């Protein structure tokens, strides 16, 4: 339901490439999982390749995905996000770099790369249709984290989610801290909704920001009655800020980019606090959201 000229661009592309069967599928629900399920239902192939906005696949992306899907038991294959800045500003560069750091991404192999093998999740994904039919497609009650939740159901059904570092796409990160905060708050909120359903799905890298936020809040409140708690809170934040600033200094020197000195700590702090705060809101929010069940 775009009104930004997307439909006209697709129409021109289709006319220029008459040999391709290009279908534009309306999505009146205007959310990601509903769009994915509508696209899957409109398709006829035995392999479904998901390609998202904010990203650009390498020329051999589909070829490598198809190759990875030949592995025994693999239902979904994906690879590395090469995170790129979406603008030329120092903060945009910092956000792109922060998203690929272990301090920002933990051990998520698709962000930090690593060896080929089974993983919890991959970005976008190329799926065997028979597996999507078996587990029921994307859950339309989840307005984010729908990919992780689907991969969790695939793994519970006995399938493998496969990471191949040769499968590469460029992902264009948010260009400012406001956009980054909204993005990571959405991630944290919807991760919590998945954790409420599947508590064992929470990984250590995902637990650290909520625990940091909770510890900070608990110490701040406890300090009203026990002033030593405020001292502990100050120590906690001092260590945290030293780690962030040290990371910024190291990257600024290594890349000869002074803008990273304030930018990377600000980006990392935004990611941690937005994700951690919104996670707790998602855990306690009792409202029903989304447009329905699985596709």
Distance CA 125, CA 78 (A): 5
Distance CA 43, CA 188 (A): 32
Can you list the domains of the chain with their CATH numbers?
6-284 (3.90.550)
Question: Please, are residues 177 and 266 in contact by the beta-carbon 8 Å criterion?
Answer: yes
Sign of CA dihedral 36, 34, 82, 10: positive
Distance CA 255, CA 208 (A): 28
Residues near 245 by Cβ (< 8 Å), separated by ≥ 6?
A: 265
Q: What Å distances lie between residue 261 and 34, 96, 249, 252, 273, CA to CA?
A: 41, 14, 5, 5, 19
By CB atoms closer than 10 A (0-12, 13-18, 19+), residue 18 is exposed
Distance CA 53, CA 143 (A): 16
Q: What Å distances lie between residue 149 and 62, 167, 232, 268, CA to CA?
A: 23, 21, 37, 25
pLDDT tens track, the chain, 295 positions:
888 999 999 999 999 999 998 999 999 999 999 999 999 999 999 999 999 888 899 999 999 999 999 988 999 999 998 899 999 999 999 999 999 888 887 666 766 677 899 999 998 999 999 999 999 999 999 999 999 999 999 999 999 999 999 999 999 999 999 999 999 999 999 999 999 999 999 888 889 999 999 999 999 999 999 999 999 999 999 999 999 999 999 999 999 999 999 999 999 999 999 999 999 999 999 776 655 445 4
User: Angle, nearest 10°, between helix axes 90-98 and 177-197?
Assistant: 20
């Amino acid at each position: 339901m775009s009104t930004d000229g997307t439909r006209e661009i697709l129409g021109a592309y289709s006319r220029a490439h008459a040999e391709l069967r290009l279908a534009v599928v309306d999505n009146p629900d205007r959310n990601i999982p509903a769009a994915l399920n509508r696209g899957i239902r409109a398709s006829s192939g035995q392999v479904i390749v998901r390609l998202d906005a904010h990203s650009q696949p390498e020329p051999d992306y589909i070829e490598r995905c198809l190759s990875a899907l030949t592995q025994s038991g693999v239902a979904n294959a994906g690879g590395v996000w090469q995170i790129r800045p979406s603008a030329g500003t120092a903060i945009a560069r910092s956000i792109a770099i922060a998203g690929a750091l272990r301090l920002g991404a933990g051990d998520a192999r698709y962000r930090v790369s690593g060896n080929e093998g089974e993983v919890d999740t991959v970005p976008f994904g190329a799926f065997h249709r028979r597996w999507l039919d078996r587990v029921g497609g994307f859950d339309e009650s989840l307005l984010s984290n729908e990919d992780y939740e689907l991969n969790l159901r695939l793994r519970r059904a006995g399938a493998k989610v496969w990471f191949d570092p040769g499968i590469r796409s460029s992902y264009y990160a948010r260009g400012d801290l406001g956009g980054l905060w909204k993005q990571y708050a959405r991630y944290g909120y919807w991760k919590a909704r998945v954790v409420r359903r599947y508590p064992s799905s929470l990984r250590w890298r995902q637990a650290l920001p909520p625990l940091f936020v909770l510890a900070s809040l608990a110490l701040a409140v406890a300090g009203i009655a026990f002033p030593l708690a405020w001292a502990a809170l100050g120590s906690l934040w001092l260590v945290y800020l030293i780690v962030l600033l040290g990371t910024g200094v190291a990257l600024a020197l290594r890349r000869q980019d002074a803008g990273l000195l304030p930018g990377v700590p600000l980006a990392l702090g935004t990611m941690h606090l937005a994700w951690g705060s919104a996670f707790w809101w998602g855990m306690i929010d009792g409202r029903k959201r989304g447009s329905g069940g699985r596709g």
